[in-house]
Structure 1
Amino acid sequence: MTQPASRTHDSVHLPDKPALEGLKDKWDANWGESGVYAFDPDTQRDAVYSIDTPPPTASGSLHVGHVFSYTQTDIIARYQRMTGKNVFYPLGWDDNGLPTERRVQNYYGVRCEPSLPHEPGFTPPAKPAKNPRDFVPVSRQNFIELCEQLSADDEKVFEDLFRSVGLSVDWKYTYRTIDDTSRAVSQRAFLADLAGGHAYSTDAPTMWDVTFGTAVAQAELEDREKEGAYHRVAFHPAAADGTADTSVDPIIIVTSRPELIPAVVALVAHPDDERYRPYFGTTVVSPLFGVSVEVRPHELAKADKGTGIAMVCTFGDLTDVTWWR
């Protein structure tokens, strides 16, 4: 009887159980040396499959959602390579913006004070303050240096993590949104928009972070549900001398934001709301402050919310912005 071939070899040792130790470094080095994921810039345009990867924010931490989102992209990249495409698949880091500034402020316990002179060799506090009001003021240049230092450290951690999950990225094309190339591209794009009449200047409200002293974008906000209460507020019609005529029934508004009464500039109700049609174009007086405000119709007012009439305050929410305009 013929004996089966031996499954062992003197130079091969099979482990008792599978192990992951060392696999990342082994294959990462192998893929880098072989260039299996490398993009060849010397190729025809129709042979290129380009993937625009939105760079994750260099905020100091990644979560499983980051990995899942890039896993989907990586599957597409691998498939296109197998079809013969030359895949351009870079990965970068978004380190240019408010999240980076906040990260640096909280990590080092410093805040930017442009009026201060640059301090060469500045060393941040060994024990950063927890309260932003106690942060150490530093010059703009010192703050930029700390941003660049911490961002580079964070991005190295990010790259190690993405390498560890085996993303098929060509790491030679890693970019940063704060680097010279990205800033030059962004500035050229803005100048092109300006020349084309797509960029403009206008008076508009902005959101202001009172702690860090900077404007913030809508995308930077995080909504949170909070317990509140509705308050009934009376606006009496204006008398001939402009004061409130308390002998006449008032218009009652219901609001969860009574602190905005000092900013009220009008009351609005839906044009089809029969309850308030007689008041459109008339004037009422705000409580406590005695300010005359007009009652106006507008289709964004909701007849089924509260008493169906609302304050226009500059600015309580985005609807207020529309009414203000």
Structure 2
Amino acid sequence: MTSHPANVPDKPALEGLEDKWMAVWDDAGTYKFSRDGQTRASIFSIDTPPPTASGSLHVGHVFSYTHTDVMARYQRMCGKEVFYPMGWDDNGLPTERRVQNYYGVRCDPSLPYEAGFTPPFEGGDNKSTKAADQVPISRRNFIELCEKLTVEDEKQFEALWRTLGLSVDWSQTYRTIGSDSIRSSQLAFVRNIERGEAYQAMAPTLWDVTFRTAVAQAELEDKDMPGAYHRLAFHRSGGDDIFIETTRPELLAACVALVAHPDDDRYKPLFGSHVTTPIFGVEVPILAHHLAQPDKGSGIAMICTFGDVTDVIWWRELDLPNRAIIGFDGRILGDAPEVITSDAGQAAFAEIAGKTIFSAKEAMVAMLRESGEMEGDPTPITHPVKFFEKGDKPLEIVSTRQWYVINGARDEKLRAQMLEFGKELTWHPDFMRVRYENWVGGLAGDWLISRQRFFGVPIPVWYPLDADGNPVFDQPLVAADGQLPVDPSSDVPEGYTEEQRGTPNGFVGEVDVMDTWATSSLTPQLAGGWERDAELWNLVWPFDL
């Protein structure tokens, strides 16, 4: 017979242990960071990637944070004062989609704010719903619902982390959409502008011509539509014509290159050479890219700005010029691209200017037949075409003004500096260092940070309006440090009044928000008090992990 001590049960129960010890740890401040009497050498600081607080947690979350917690506990045992905060990544598209489905709403910035708005329901199943079934509400109402839902999600996230026993200092939490985070993100962008690292340029945007709105990737759906391949001849000096097959002959004036697969023996000898476009006589290069499909059409494609999403990828990765010819109304613009200089080319463009896509295609095909530069009749096909989920016309890709931040893609000195920074880190495992170096080496374009979304960090600029009420984009009114954080859609630039918004000689606010990585890439600054708490920043920067 075996006896047990009186305080040891026959069958130990685990229920309630988490709550018991969480309370003990909180009361004792077991994991609480204290800066008193500390120096940078006595502190081990940890920057954790903030999880996206827009749904349910799963075992992958647990796995990815466990090894960080092991490091935190080890450093405490070694006598270090551990700075181990936790953040919540709560802005951006995942949150917007969750709010749309949870409350049955969608954002329409043209609508006025409705005080005391009650959503049609709460507790959607987080599955995709049709926008047509969602109630349109103002941007401010929509953001309020985003705030409400993310706060609840973050409570659930924190409760689970606490149950797991993560040794986080829960007094050191932050939100990527909190006012301090918005200020830090906007301040970093203002500094980018001051150093000449941020600039504006025209960039492609998925656009619904019916609703006159930019469309996010999550709002797309493919529909099989009839089309036709048109076989067109591009002319090579001193050589045979190069034939391409395209479903978008109306975009010939927007052609910026031909592209074939780098392993396609038919076109290898032509890479780096040039051809001239039919009808318009514009010289364009022949380039190589792995997305070209040797078994599709003639194996060599026309890159236009912009016929489809692949055109956008080629344009960005091959660093090509932008010669967009489609306007926001879905019609061909009135002015030809500057590279069309011949009288014949100008006259040909005038034939399609102002026409709808359908009519422009008909006119272009007629001109190609007359010139003899289209071989045979069009070949009918059925292919997937992208639509806005509530739209009834195919999406177009138009050029809109966007903000960029330089990242080394076009600056060898900056690229080399980024690689040197990478060498200053100790990577675990080491192959992640190689991945980082390959990523830096593969950068082909600067960082496009403008996003046509709603729940995010506003780009902190306004634009003056001239006497005719047109925005003067090359003279942005940048928010002063003391104004931050700001929302240009509701706040006013220095020297102006709200009555001048949208009026001649007044101003208009930037409506785009920043890419979520413009905040998430600053997590050491957000957690460490950069430009907010100098003492803390000097104690924890640079972060150890």
TM-score (norm: length of structure 1)? 0.76
Aligned partner of residue 145 in structure 2, secondary structure: helix
Query: Aligned residue for 1:253?
Result: 244
Task: Please say if 1:125 is aligned against 2:116.
Answer: no
Distance 2:303 2:197 in 1: 30
Contact 1:110 1:138 in 2 (8 A): yes
- CA displacement, residues 32-78 of structure 1 (integer Å, 9 cap, x when unaligned): 11111111122212211111111111112222211111112111111
Change (3 A) 1:237 1:208: closer
- CA displacement, residues 137-173 of structure 1 (integer Å, 9 cap, x when unaligned): 2222221211111111111111111111111100011
Query: Aligned residue for 2:393?
Result: none
Query: Aligned residue for 1:244?
Result: none
Task: Please say if 1:297 is aligned against 2:285.
Answer: yes
Query: Aligned residue for 1:101?
Result: 96
Distance 2:204 2:43 in 1: 44
Q: Which amino acid aligns with 1:297?
A: P
Q: Which has the higher contact order (CA 8 A, sep 6+)?
A: 2
Q: Give the superposition deviation at 1:104.
A: 0.9
Distance 2:315 2:285 in 1: 14
**Higher radius of gyration, 1 or 2:** 1
Contact 1:50 1:89 in 2 (8 A): yes
Aligned partner of residue 171 in structure 1, secondary structure: coil
Q: Give the superposition deviation at 1:13.
A: 4.5
Once the two structures are overlaid, the 10-residue window that deviates more, 154-163 or 184-193, is 184-193
Contact 1:237 1:283 in 2 (8 A): yes
Contact 2:275 2:286 in 1 (8 A): no
**Gapped regions of structure 2 (runs ≥ 5):** 323-545
Aligned CA-pair RMSD = 3.9
Task: Please say if 1:314 is aligned against 2:305.
Answer: yes
21, 31, 45: which one aligns with 1:27: 21
Query: Aligned residue for 2:462?
Result: none
**Gapped regions of structure 1 (runs ≥ 5):** 239-248, 286-291
Query: Aligned residue for 2:105?
Result: 110
Distance 1:236 1:92 in 2: 57
- CA displacement, residues 257-288 of structure 1 (integer Å, 9 cap, x when unaligned): x3x444343352579947759x9433336xxx
Q: Give the superposition deviation at 1:183.
A: 1.1
Q: Which amino acid aligns with 1:312?
A: I
Distance 2:305 2:59 in 1: 40
Contact 1:109 1:136 in 2 (8 A): yes
Aligned partner of residue 234 in structure 1, secondary structure: strand
Count of paired positions = 295
Kindly, what percent of the aligned residue pairs are identical?
Answer: 51
Q: What aligned pairs does 1:155-174 form with structure 2 within 5 A after superposition?
A: 155-174=154-173
Query: Aligned residue for 1:241?
Result: none
Change (3 A) 1:92 1:212: farther
Query: Aligned residue for 1:268?
Result: 258
- CA displacement, residues 76-117 of structure 1 (integer Å, 9 cap, x when unaligned): 111111111111111111112222122111110111223333
Distance 2:58 2:17 in 1: 22
TM-score (norm: length of structure 2)? 0.47
Contact 1:301 1:308 in 2 (8 A): no
Q: What aligned pairs does 1:138-287 form with structure 2 within 5 A after superposition?
A: 138-207=137-206, 213-214=213-214, 216=216, 233-236=230-233, 251-253=242-244, 258=247, 260-264=248-252, 265-266=254-255, 268=258, 273=267, 280-284=274-278
Q: Which amino acid aligns with 1:263?
A: L
Contact 2:232 2:278 in 1 (8 A): yes
Query: Aligned residue for 1:89?
Result: 84
Contact 1:261 1:313 in 2 (8 A): no
Once the two structures are overlaid, the 10-residue window that deviates more, 126-135 or 143-152, is 126-135
Distance 1:108 1:293 in 2: 54
Q: Give the superposition deviation at 1:134.
A: 2.1
- CA displacement, residues 199-224 of structure 1 (integer Å, 9 cap, x when unaligned): 111112235689995565xxx779x9
